[in-house]
Amino acid sequence: MGFPAQRLRRLRTNESIRGLVRENHLSAGNFVLPLFAVPGSKVRREIAALPGNYQLSIDCLVEEAVEARALGIPAILLFGVPQARDELGSGSYAEDGIVQEAVRAVKHAVPGILVITDVCACEYMTNGHCGIMKDGYLDNDLSLDLMSKIALSHAEAGSDMVAPAAMLDGQIQAIRKTLDAHGFHNLPIMAYSAKFASSLYDPFFKEGTQSVVSFGDKRTHQMDFFNSDEAMREIALDIEEGADIVMVKPALFYLDIVYRAKQEFQMPLAVYDVSGEYAMIDAAARMGRLDRDAIMLEALSCMKRAGADFIITYFAKRAAELLRSHEQLASSHVEDKAPEPRLATVR
């Protein structure tokens, strides 16, 4: 039965009704905040392409984690920008490496926050690549040992979850075996399972970590953005190898992949709202073309609607602030409108 018996606008009459029938909900608990750790003290250097996000010395990074937790954000994702780099990426697994030290500091100061660590070597390599290069090509199997050493060093430092990002064949299996062999059976792995070779990463590498590749590119291991069936194969293999959470990266341009992944696997699913997606919205807002906050919340809501269980995003703090304000406003509005309670008459 259609119109006039059915009028779908009846359920859009006001915010209370719209909220009551809303199919998906966004909250601060859905966000993971990426943070960049750098050497030094009292360093808070804004990343030009990501306004509101910073390279942080560990003391300042701890303060950022405290603030994120106070906003209801449950987790951070740590990246390291080391003092020195070499051809073997040795700083990536050093006991006193920048990420390892940051993990210890955050876990000590903010025990309630979940610390996830990015497992990759590109920030620590002089050439900016994600593993061991041999004759100009990323050697997959040689690099598996490096990924395992990085993940183990993070676990020993106190990481709550490791996130392998290199898109190497067999990396989840190699890391799982290493962690289990050293007693870290309960440490979860979040796999960058469907990570596409995207230009949307440029602000991250050029300004966030300063780890742009010195030759070649990453298309031999990151996925061709024309493909979607291949993404499902990548996810299936990571699950088979022991991944606890799978990820699609980037997010906003790849919502078809997000939807397929959730429908086909019903696994905990993360998306990474990457630096280029953030930069585009922020730049358009600065030019007066878009309402930054409105578009931000719309974009994040669309990721959730497509199937993401949680979202890694540089918008995390601002979005959490807005959502809290909306909740407080809605609560005060309900209180203002509530009728005076009437006393029951005793008969």
Residue 6 domain-assigned?
no
What's the confidence (pLDDT) of residue 214? 77
Residue 231 domain-assigned?
yes
Instruction: Round to whole Å and give the CA distance between 35 and 208.
Output: 9
Count Cα neighbours of 184 within 13 Å in the Cβ-side half-sphere: 22
What's the confidence (pLDDT) of residue 205? 82
Residue 4 domain-assigned?
no
Residue 78 domain-assigned?
yes
**Domain enclosing residue 82, as ranges:** 27-337
Residue 190 domain-assigned?
yes
Per-run averaged pLDDT (10 residues), the chain, 347 residues:
92 93 96 98 96 97 98 98 90 96 98 96 88 90 96 98 97 98 98 97 88 84 97 98 98 98 98 97 97 97 98 98 85 57 44
Q: How many structural domains are present in the chain? A: 1
Query: 252: domain CATH number?
Result: 3.20.20.70
Residue 9 domain-assigned?
no
What's the confidence (pLDDT) of residue 213? 80
What's the confidence (pLDDT) of residue 88? 87
What's the confidence (pLDDT) of residue 339? 54
What's the confidence (pLDDT) of residue 347? 41
Residues annotated as catalytic are 195, 249
Residue 10 domain-assigned?
no
Residue 17 domain-assigned?
no
Report angle CA 183, 188, 194 to the nearest 5 degrees: 135
